[in-house]
């Protein structure tokens, strides 16, 4: 049996779908407050739904019993954040540390953890991710740490200012640096493939898409498909640094810091990873066509 933590999330749901589709038994951990429609979707996919919470250590040990592998994509950000309740500290750090411990104590053999590449600034979400990575490496569990860069479906969406429907885009920094935008669908593929691929054992994989495109190049891709120019707003690094300095809420701090990371990100060479995993990655152009046509 395989346990997916974060199963109602975007990546977690796709992992459950892929595993069920390929005949791999999957147990999906959901919170009492999880969206009933998403829980029902997990059941329809064929997952065994169990209730638990990263903030409840007892429920984590119960969920891990009889499990061979854990895949965790769980995070309070961006959609599950609740001030003072479900936060980078309580969920992404303390909760995920407890999950690693519960997996080790119940005899889980393998742990696949979704993180992101290191960034220059210290901020709540990054601090949580690095702490969990360190605990996992020291746990004795066979582990894989996946570090995908910026998700196409999030960072090239209206949620963060890329409003393609209205031909408007916010660009953070100069917009000239190449970013290896990656689809959440491909992150899910890597997570599932990591369960059986020897190349994934006790390693950290930096993950990006098939090409590096600057934000301005991305805008051009969308403009060609739309046949119209976008109204582009450039947000200077200095403005973001000011926002980070003034932020008090952990969600706001983390989100602004991720924007700063976007402004300085570099392309990821996927040659070795693709040779080891033989996966076909989705392009920005394909994503743009899917949402624009």
C-alpha distances in angstroms, 282 versus 67, 155, 206, 209, 210? Answer: 31, 15, 16, 7, 7
Structure confidence at residue 16 (pLDDT): 98
pLDDT tens digits, one per residue of 161-220: 999 999 999 999 999 999 999 999 999 999 999 999 999 999 999 999 999 999 999 999
Q: Which fold has domain 2-292?
A: Rossmann fold (3.40.50)
pLDDT band at 119 (very low <50, low <70, confident <90, very high): very high
pLDDT band at 228 (very low <50, low <70, confident <90, very high): very high
pLDDT tens digits, one per residue of 65-112: 999 999 999 999 877 888 888 899 999 999 999 999 999 999 999 999
pLDDT band at 275 (very low <50, low <70, confident <90, very high): very high
Q: Where are the domains of the chain?
A: 2-292
d(CA 188, CA 7): 11
Cβ-contact 98, 60 below 8 angstroms: yes
- Report CA torsion sign: 122, 132, 62, 192: positive
pLDDT tens digits, one per residue of 120-155: 989 999 999 999 999 999 999 999 999 999 999 999
d(CA 114, CA 182): 13
């Amino acid at each position: 049996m395989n346990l997916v933590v974060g199963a109602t999330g975007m990546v977690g749901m796709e992992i459950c779908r892929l595993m069920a589709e390929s005949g791999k038994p999957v147990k999906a951990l959901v919170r009492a407050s999880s969206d009933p429609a998403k829980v029902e979707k997990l059941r329809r996919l064929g997952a065994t739904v169990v209730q638990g919470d990263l903030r409840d250590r007892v429920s984590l040990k119960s969920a891990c019993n009889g499990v061979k592998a854990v895949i965790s994509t769980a995070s309070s950000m961006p959609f599950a954040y609740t001030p003072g309740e479900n936060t980078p500290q309580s969920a992404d750090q303390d909760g995920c540390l407890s999950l690693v411990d519960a997996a080790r104590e119940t005899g889980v053999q393998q742990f696949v953890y979704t993180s992101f590449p290191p960034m220059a600034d210290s901020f709540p979400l990054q601090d949580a991710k690095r702490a969990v990575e360190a605990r996992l490496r020291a746990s004795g569990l066979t582990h894989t740490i996946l570090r995908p860069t910026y998700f196409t479906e999030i960072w090239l969406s209206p949620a963060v200012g890329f409003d393609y429907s209205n031909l408007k885009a916010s660009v953070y920094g100069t917009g000239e640096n190449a970013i290896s935008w990656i689809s959440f669908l491909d992150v899910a593929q890597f997570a599932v493939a990591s369960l059986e691929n020897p190349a994934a054992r006790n390693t950290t994989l930096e993950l990006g898409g098939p090409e590096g495109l600057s934000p301005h190049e991305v805008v051009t891709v969308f403009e060609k498909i739309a046949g119209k120019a976008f109204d582009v707003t450039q947000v200077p690094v200095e403005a973001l640094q000011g926002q980070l300095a003034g932020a008090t809420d952990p969600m706001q701090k983390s989100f602004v810091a991720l924007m700063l990371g976007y402004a300085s990100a570099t392309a990821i060479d996927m040659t070795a990873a693709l040779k080891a995993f033989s996966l076909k990655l989705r392009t920005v152009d394909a994503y743009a066509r899917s949402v624009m046509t």
